[in-house]
Structures are given as C-alpha cells and as structure tokens.
Amino acid sequence: MSIPNSPAVLIVRPDEIDHPEEYLSSAEKECIQQFRHPLVRQNWVVSRVLIKQLTEQVLVTSKTEEFVYSDYTVVSKNENDKGCQPFVIDKNGERLPYWYSISHVDGFVAAGIDCNNPLGVDLCKVGAVAAVVERGFYTEREKNSLADADSEFRPILSSLIWAAKEAAYKLLSIQTLEPFVPARYELASDVTEILPAQTAPFNPFGLTIDFSASQLSKEKVVYTGKENSLSVTVQFCRYEDVVIALAR
C-alpha cells in the first residue's frame, strides 16, 4: 500500500511487530547496544521500523526494486551528537528528501512522514496529564478552556493541549533551536471535539492515518519566544485512548 498524500502517521503497539530488530541496518544494530532498559530499546527499534515502513510506502510508487529495510538507516543525532529530527540515509549514504517525526507513550509508538515540509508528531494518552503539569505549564487561556469544558471532555482536552505543545515544539525547534518551554506554546483555538482517526487498512506494521483528510480539525498553536512569535497549524485525531497531534 502506498501513501496517496502526505503527511501521514503510522501508529502501532510495539509488541505487534515480530522481531523488529531484523529490520535494522548494521549501523542501527550498533546503536541499540547503548540502550539497557528493554522498553527504551523497544521504542527506539520500533520507531525506526515505522519510519522505514512509511518510506517504503512512498517509494513503492517510484521504485521497481524490492525495498530492503536493512539498506536504510534512520539518524536522529546531528554531527555534534545532539538530538535532531530523524532523517533517513540509504545504502549509498545519500539522505532521502523526506521529513519525519516520532513519538511514543505507554503502549504505543508512532512515526510521521511528510514528503514536502517539516512536521512534528506527538502522542498523549487521555487522562495522562497531571494537575500539577496543567498548573505549571498551561497558559491562562488554556486553563480557562479546561475550566469551561464539560467533565467528560476535559481529560481529552488536557491531553490534546499537551500533545499540541509537544508537536509544535518538535516542528518549531528546527527554527528556534531553543529548549522546550511548554508555557511558551499556546493552543490558540477553542477545541470542542476530536474525531476518531481516519485510517487506511491495517498492515503488519500498524495503522496509517492520512492527515491530509479534510475533515480533521486544523487548530493554531502560537509560540512566543524571547525575540519573536511563530505560529503553526496542528491537526488532531484520536486512536483508542491516545490523542495524536501533528504540527505542520
């Protein structure tokens, strides 16, 4: 199955992928030796597999040869050994011209792709944001929105706000080069509902969500930095008990 449009997000429960390390390149297999905690290792490996699966879905329309997963390496550190937005290099050392983002929460891993522009993806479980986080990192406008929300929608809205901040940061950090300060990111729209994920058919690597779907809401997140302000569009959907936010 190919991705008809972009951006798109692939989400999966990590234990649904059999033997994920078989899909890694030799360079990636060397990298996983640094991860001792089994959950951290699993999330790292599965995120690489999902990025490669998304890449295959894009390339299947333009390449005739078989896509060999181990021929591709996902890189998420820059030349200074600092974390950066993931990118993919092929067996010839050439960087592919696509943009990626990854996220994970307890029980889920996701990866996003856009063929044309940077993006940021974040997952947040409904009800997972603690009250102390809301008090310390939400703006007054966001706190008022939560106070006005009905009791059933409130935990969804809180998770949506946090996912929006994280997704916007992942996108805008490319420009700002600043650390994540959640209170500087504000969801500037009043969201009253969130639609279930519009998914393509399940494949062995999870469910592909087409974020080019027109019915998904488009909300604004505003970043107020030390020297300037920026804004991005964030789209949301919900899959099971997880809110998925995509900034672009």
N- to C-terminal Cα distance for the chain? 24
Task: Give ∠ CA 81-233-176 in degrees, rounded to 5.
Answer: 35
Mean local confidence (pLDDT), 47-59: 94
Q: Clarify whether residues 77 and 161 are in a common domain.
A: no
Q: Which residue has the tokens 């997952």?
A: 123
Q: Clarify whether residues 147 and 77 are in a common domain.
A: no
Whole-number Å distance between alpha carbons of 98 and 100: 7
Which pLDDT score is estimated for 61? 63
Q: Clarify whether residues 150 and 242 are in a common domain.
A: yes
Write out pLDDT tens, residues 80-121: 777 789 999 999 999 999 999 999 999 999 999 999 999 999
Q: Clarify whether residues 175 and 74 are in a common domain.
A: no
Write out pLDDT tens, residues 60-90: 766 667 889 999 999 998 777 777 899 999 9
135-139, 195-199, 243-247: the lowest-pLDDT one: 195-199
* 205 part of a folded domain: no
pLDDT at residue 4 is higher than 80: no
- Residue 59: in which H helix or E strand, if any? helix 38-59
Give residues with Cβ within 8 angstroms of 40, minimum separation 6. none
In total, the chain counts a number of residues equal to 248
Look up residue 69 and give its amino acid: Y
Give residues with Cβ within 8 angstroms of 240, minimum separation 6. none
Write out pLDDT tens, residues 195-208: 898 887 778 899 99
Centre a 10 Å sphere on the Cβ of residue 103 and count the other Cβ atoms it contains. 26
Q: Clarify whether residues 167 and 188 are in a common domain.
A: yes
* 79 part of a folded domain: yes
Q: Is the dihedral of CA 196, 198, 203, 204 positive or negative?
A: negative
Which pairing describes strands 8-12 and 207-210: parallel, antiparallel, or unpaired? antiparallel
Asked if 119 contacts 101 with a C-beta cutoff of 8 angstroms, the reply is yes
* 38 part of a folded domain: yes
Q: Clarify whether residues 135 and 229 are in a common domain.
A: yes
Identify the CATH number of the domain in which residue 95 sits.
3.90.470.20
5 band by pLDDT with thresholds 50, 70 and 90: low
Which pLDDT score is estimated for 149? 95
Q: Clarify whether residues 143 and 230 are in a common domain.
A: yes
Print the domain residue range for 68: 8-118
Strand partners, 74: 88
Q: Which residue has the tokens 């279930």?
A: 196
Backbone angles phi, psi at 199, to 5 degrees: -115, 150
Whole-number Å distance between alpha carbons of 81 and 101: 18
Which pairing describes strands 99-105 and 207-210: parallel, antiparallel, or unpaired? unpaired
Alpha-helical runs (H) found in 60-184: 131-137, 140-148, 154-176
Q: Clarify whether residues 56 and 80 are in a common domain.
A: yes
**Percent of the chain having pLDDT more than 90?**
72
